[in-house]
Structure formats: structure tokens, C-alpha cells
Amino acid sequence: MTPYDDAPSQVTSRPALIDGFGRTVTYLRVSVTDRCDLRCVYCMAEHMTFLPKAEVLTLEELDRLATGFIKLGVRKLRITGGEPLVRKGVMGLIENLSRHLKSGALDELTLTTNGTRLTEFASDLAKFGVRRINVSMDTLKPDLFRKLTRGGDLAKVIAGIDSALAAGIAVKVNAVALKDDNAAELPDLIAWAHARGADMTLIEAMPLGEIEVDRTDQFLSLKDVRRELESFWTLTDSDHVTGGPARYVTVEETGGRLGFITPLSHNFCEACNRVRLTCTGTLHTCLGREDASDLRAVIRGGADEAGLEDAIRLAVDAKPEGHDFQIVRASAPAVARHMSTTGG
């Protein structure tokens, strides 16, 4: 018997979770920790202060909140961090959340990871119903990877990707486009991923959290990247969707899919179906705004299922129409919290 056996696994028929602008929320990203074993330069400060344990939700609380959203119509659940696989006991949480796949309440249970621990956990992820993951990797150059992650081992990440693929898990490699670091390398990175049978997604640098550098120096518009790629590749627009914000094309010469996530050069707010739950139980309904609802206080205050539902609906109803992202030299980031705190 697991700690979650008394939690209901079936979804009752209730009105959809709809925000104040008529968008239906079907996708929840759950951060299980703010900690990470890498220190990517665009994501966090080199010397981060992490949360005390008392502020972080227990695995049982994370399960209860995720289940509450699933009962209200969330069909896709993504586990994030920090780096989710550094959280002690996280595989037990994933195993127990997989009951919603078995019941049909959930269409997909997935994960975003930096790949450093995939060799250890890939087979169990597959066993628990994870069919697709995102792996963050910005370069194929070991020295540059070590620089961007402040000490990371590229070989370990590549071995993790190969372990996931061998376990039958589809992999999408995510890379942040950085003007001074990997811009010239992006075609090679795309071709490498496609040769392994993995999809590839490029992401514009986002102004989240104070870091040691000015992000304007590294911002690279994906409109310009696409224009450059089209000078030697044939990119055909695709109707492929994964529930997230990426817009996909097929690269005819490689046969693989390539996604573009463009929060600055072309935002995707009008069709946003996502909300994010941090490891402290704070619900952010917009990645690029400072909105926040404290669901930890709700459940630790003794709320029953109806009380939790009311709190979730109230928060989602206030979801803003769009984000505040912009890259402006010497300005404060649009959002003070780091990506590792929000959930990647």
C-alpha cells in the first residue's frame, strides 16, 4: 500500500477549468524542487540560496494538488524542477501519479530534465508510463557545456538521452538560443538530435530572475534563426502539437521535427492552456507575470476537496491575458523569480 492509495483516482464530471478570457486550462507543470545539480548561466545565479525544507511541499501534498487539478480537467501533467530527478523519492511520486494514466483521467505524464540522472531513472520512468521527456542541452561542445552549466558533464547528459531512447521514451532536446555562445552551432545541434531520432526545440532567452549578466547581450530572435536555417534547409510548417507553446516545422533534409518557442519575438498568450505549480505550492497562472496563489496555505489550513477546488478555480479565473516579457538593456527582469523556482 502506498501513501496515496486513499486518494481518488477517478475524475467526476465537473465544469472545465476556464480562465477569465475563455481559455481552458488542461496542462499543469509541477515543480517538485527548486534545487538543481547544474547552474545554467541564463537560469540561475551561480551561488543560489535554495528553499528550506519546511517550505517545500511533501510528496503527498504534491500528489494531492496535482490530483485536484486532474479532477478539474487537466489532461497533461509535466514534472519539473529545478532538476526533478534530484528530489528524494520523486520516482515514488511519479509512480503514484501514473494511476491517473491507468484510470484514463490523464492523457500524458511527462518530465523536463537536464539529463544528468537519466541513466539511473530512464527505465523506471518508462515503466511508470512516461512516454516522452524534454532534455535541456544547449551545446555539443564539452567545454562550452561546462561553461554554460558552470561545471556540467556533457557526456553524462548524452548518455542519459541514449538511455531514455533505449527505454522507448521519446526525447525532445531543448536548447536556449544564445547569440554569443551557441548561435553558430544550432544547425549541428539540430542535425545531431534528428540523427538520434529526437525532436529539437529552440527557445528564446527569457527575462526571469536576477543573474550576473545582462540578457540583452545574449538574446537571439528565433525569427532570425529560422531565416538563417531556411537559407540551407527546407522547413515545412507542421500541425504537430504537444500541448505546449512550441510551433513546429519539419526539416525536410533531416526528416526531424524542429520547434520554436518565441515568448518575445512572437508571443503565444492567446492560446495559453498552462499553469505552473511551484514546489512551495504557489500557483503561477502566467510564466511572465508576478501573479501567485498560495495553495499550500489552502491544504495545510485543512481545506477539503471542495475548498481546494474553489481555490484553484479562483486562481485560474484571474489568469492574466498576456505576459510582461521584454528584453531591454539594463532593465530589471520582467519577473524576479528564477526559472528554477517557477519550474522549467
Neighbour tally for 290: CB within 10 Å: 12
Residue 29, marked binder: yes
**What are the distances in angstroms from CA 337 to CA 31, 47, 341?**
14, 15, 6
Residue 344, marked binder: no
| CA 133/CA 112 separation, integer angstroms | 6
Contacts of residue 75, Cβ cutoff 8 Å, sequence gap at least 6? 26, 27, 106, 107, 108, 243
Q: Exposed e or buried b for every residue in 248-286, given b needs 16+ CB within 10 A?
A: bbbbeebebbbbbbbbbbeebbeebbbbbbbbbbbbbbb
Residue 36, marked binder: yes
**What are the distances in angstroms from CA 132 to CA 43, 64, 287, 341?**
23, 23, 22, 23
Contact criterion met (CB below 8 Å) for 103 and 71 = no
Residue 279, marked binder: no
Residue 40, marked binder: yes
Residue 196, marked binder: no
According to DSSP, the β-strands at 132-136 and 247-251 are unpaired
Residue 226, marked binder: no
Contact criterion met (CB below 8 Å) for 264 and 325 = yes
Burial of 24: CB neighbours in 10 Å, binned 0-12, 13-18, 19+: middle
Contact criterion met (CB below 8 Å) for 283 and 293 = yes
Residue 78, marked binder: yes
Residue 136, marked binder: yes
Residue 112, marked binder: yes
Residue 102, marked binder: no
| CA 344/CA 335 separation, integer angstroms | 14
Contact criterion met (CB below 8 Å) for 232 and 173 = no
| CA 270/CA 24 separation, integer angstroms | 11
Residue 339, marked binder: no
Residue 275, marked binder: yes
Residue 42, marked binder: yes
Binding positions are 29, 36, 40, 42-43, 78, 82, 112, 136, 172, 206, 269, 272, 274-276, 286
Binding site for S-adenosyl-L-methionine, by residue number, is 42, 82, 136, 206
Instruction: Tell me the binding residues for GTP.
Output: 29, 78, 112, 172, 274-276
Specify binding-site residues for [4Fe-4S] cluster: 36, 40, 43, 269, 272, 286
